[in-house]
């Protein structure tokens, strides 16, 4: 059990969780650009491109961000 807890706490891979009209991103490195139609985020494994309408950053804490709006498309470009 301690091994699982340790693995969860030390996890550094990015994670995306999609909800209706929201996207939660965990373990990102940098927000590259923000507009009401596109948000680009850098992770340790590549870039995330979020496209939609009325996109906003709702909650921003170290390593986590919650995006809100009408999300139409999400692309992930992994490093080779």
Cβ–Cβ contacts within 10 Å for residue 74, how many?
A: 16
Mean pLDDT of 10-33: 91
CA distance 61 to 51: 22
Residue 3 — very low, low, confident or very high, per pLDDT cuts 50/70/90? low
Q: What are phi and psi of 4, to 5 degrees?
A: -65, -45
CA distance 10 to 54: 34
**What domains lie within the chain, and their CATH numbers?**
12-78 (2.60.40.2000)
- DSSP SS3 for 1: coil
Which is it for the CA torsion 46, 52, 55, 59, positive or negative? negative
* pLDDT at residue 61, as a whole number: 87
pLDDT in tens, 43-73: 999 999 999 999 999 988 888 999 999 999 9
Residue 19 — very low, low, confident or very high, per pLDDT cuts 50/70/90? very high
């Amino acid at each position: 059990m301690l091994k699982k807890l340790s693995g969860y706490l030390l996890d550094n891979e990015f994670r995306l969780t999609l909800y209706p009209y929201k996207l939660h991103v965990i373990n990102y490195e940098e927000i590259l650009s923000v507009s009401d139609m596109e948000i680009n985020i850098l992770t340790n494994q590549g870039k995330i491109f979020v496209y939609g309408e009325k996109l906003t950053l709702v909650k921003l804490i170290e390593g986590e961000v919650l995006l809100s709006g009408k999300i139409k498309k999400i692309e992930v470009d992994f490093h080779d």
